[in-house]
Chain A
Amino acid sequence: EVLLVQSGAEVKKPGESLKISCKGSGYSFTNNWIGWVRQMPGKGLEWMGIIYPSDSKIRDSPSFEGQVTISVDKSITTAYLQWSSLKASDTAMYYCARIGDLGGSFDVWGQGTMVTVSS
């Protein structure tokens, strides 16, 4: 079974750093792009960017450029989303998802990581 398992919920203060993770299993991890999607409370889905685990090539959204860092460690089949200085506006659910073999759509999703930033 193809699975993406994300790290647990986080509560942080503004200005703190954070790295959340997404571990893939049940498939050849290096063969599929993995992406991150933000969903702010009560809002829609926002595509943040994708990374190709084989060579760490990244395609990201201008909306998130410079705000977050996407990375991967293929040796442990895990992708990451990282902030260096959190803001209250980063409060959201973050999903990782795998791009399927037949195109750019996300066919498998992680369970989500809720990030709350509050003083």
Chain B
Amino acid sequence: DIQMTQSPSSLSASVGDRVTITCRASQGIFNYLAWYQQKPGKVPKLLIYAASTLQSGVPSRFSGSGSGTDFTLTISSLQPEDVATYYCQKYNSAPFTFGPGTKVDIK
């Protein structure tokens, strides 16, 4: 099975900072990658699918890029409401494995 890794595992940044999270697949997955946000105690929420397509209603400060094995999620200007754990997920073939998550908080 394809393994998913994320880096960093956690980060602390200031309001307004640009934040980048990396997701890597152990084999190529084309652009079959999604990003989710899970705020503390809440249900996960889809942010981005097909590596770079913003889900309806998601703020434009979120963006995704990448293809093949290396992907990034960028928050262009971190806001207090972005405190959450972010997960990538590959879905080129079953199992649609999630990455281990990146916890983002405010410095």
The 8 Å CB contact of A103, one of B44, B49, B85, is B49
B residues 68-96 in Cβ contact with A at 8 Å: 85, 87, 89, 91-92, 94-96
> Is the CB–CB distance between B101 and A60 below 8 Å?
no
Total A-B pairs, Cβ < 8 A = 73
Q: Type the 1/0 row for A68-100, where 1 means its CB is closer than 8 Å to any CB of B.
A: 000000000000000000000000000101001
Q: In the complex, how many angstroms separate the beta carbon of B78 from the nearest chain A beta carbon?
A: 21
> Is the CB–CB distance between B95 and A61 below 8 Å?
yes
Bound-complex Cα distance A6 to B101 (A): 24
Per DSSP, chain B at the interface is: loop
Q: Which residue of B lies closest to A112 (CB)?
A: B43
Q: Which of A47, A105, A112 has the most CB of B within 10 A?
A: A105
Q: In the complex, how many angstroms separate the beta carbon of B95 from the nearest chain A beta carbon?
A: 4
- The verdict on A28 contacting chain B, using a C-beta distance below 8 Å, is no
Binding site for B on A (CB under 8 A): 35, 37, 44-47, 49-50, 59-63, 95, 97, 100, 102-107, 109-112
Binding site for A on B (CB under 8 A): 1, 32, 34, 36, 38, 43-46, 49-50, 53, 55, 85, 87, 89, 91-92, 94-101
